Structure 1
């Protein structure tokens, strides 16, 4: 075999090797693209932290199971803290966002209401939180809360207006009332009458799931 023939054979082998490697890379691309799921950050208080429930019965676990059942490649990251007010949520926002999520479900305000904190302060804090998400280009689903009627008509009117007003300002999706169909139903709540039991959480997840799906569809990865 002449040197020219040997060289030609080597070039042919190298060319085939590149073709094979290229084909393998193309096959692997979809796998690599799918390797990292979208991240959905839960940013709330005890209602999403799962106070009083086993981990598998909490909102985060049940929502994750519901998304898995829909075959959606999403990782639910629960950054909710029991007892948090909107001021607490604002104070810890920077370090929570150290790893940027793809979307956020924001549920804060219940503890402010239970403590009778001014609705104006609730609106100010949530405004600052939503402004930060907007600056980072992170889509948000805002979970609304309703004030207890015992706090008086003026407070109820001011508090209940906060969530739709901010939703409109930031063009954020709004789930009007996080505890819709669950609040005040003894069969769906724990003994304290405030926190949902496992069945109550299941109801909440079923109610909010279509909103979460729309949020994730709008989230870039």
Structure 2
């Protein structure tokens, strides 16, 4: 049913990020189930940018080098900036799941934190207030561990068939949290990709490599000012 909802989302061009495993093209698991992660390592000489999110961040169905965080690393390298991108995307991640996982990722230094979570909550019809509370808790933990961290939040949307009030309230989560926490806001991560067949994989849910190039640009427009 979640896929059916997402397909409806593309029809109305108001796509929300759902979950799939973004590790490689050979993985065809399209469920919302979470998977184990291997420990992440960084170069201590560089400042770290942690991308924390769902399969959109992980790069479902793509080679890891094609996921939008990797493309942002390429831009950073081309500009000879001293930053290392860490891809903390995970298949099926919800805001509650993220709350349970964030402390492990914060064991490494984080200078810039990019938060892309909540869409799976919305697709499951979870209360907007609960999603907001969980995301705020994640933000608070990051700030508590690294008070000087710079933060970005990526906005997401729900399909209109989930009801006008719910979709509006859900959409407003992101600008509200951005304003409250002095975070930079990517208004809609999937802008110019959602609802365009040629930019999405055969499942109609996840962006193609070309689509992820647009996602990278959507984030870069906001992120570059923080580097």
Task: Compare 69-78 and 79-88 and name the one that shifted more.
Answer: 69-78
The Cα of 1:123 is off from its aligned counterpart by 0.5
| Aligned counterpart in structure 2 of residue 94 of structure 1, from 103, 118, 123 | 103
**TM-score normalised to structure 2 length:** 0.77
Distance in 2 of aligned mates of 1:191 and 1:109: 24
Show the 5 A alignment for 1:1-221: 36-135=45-144, 136-137=146-147, 138-216=149-227
Larger RCO, structures 1/2 (Cα 8 Å, 6+ apart): 2
Q: Tell me how many residue pairs correspond in the alignment.
A: 183
Unaligned runs of at least 5 residues, structure 2: 1-43
Coordinate RMSD, CA, aligned:
1.5
Distance in 2 of aligned mates of 1:197 and 1:69: 23
Larger radius of gyration: 1
**Secondary structure of 2:48's aligned partner:** strand
The Cα of 1:52 is off from its aligned counterpart by 0.7
The Cα of 1:208 is off from its aligned counterpart by 1.7
Task: Compare 99-108 and 57-66 and name the one that shifted more.
Answer: 57-66
Moved over 4 A (4+): none
Q: Which residue of 1 aligns with 2:3?
A: none
Q: Is the 8 Å Cα contact of residues 106 and 142 (structure 2) preserved in structure 1?
A: no
Unaligned runs of at least 5 residues, structure 1: 1-34, 217-221
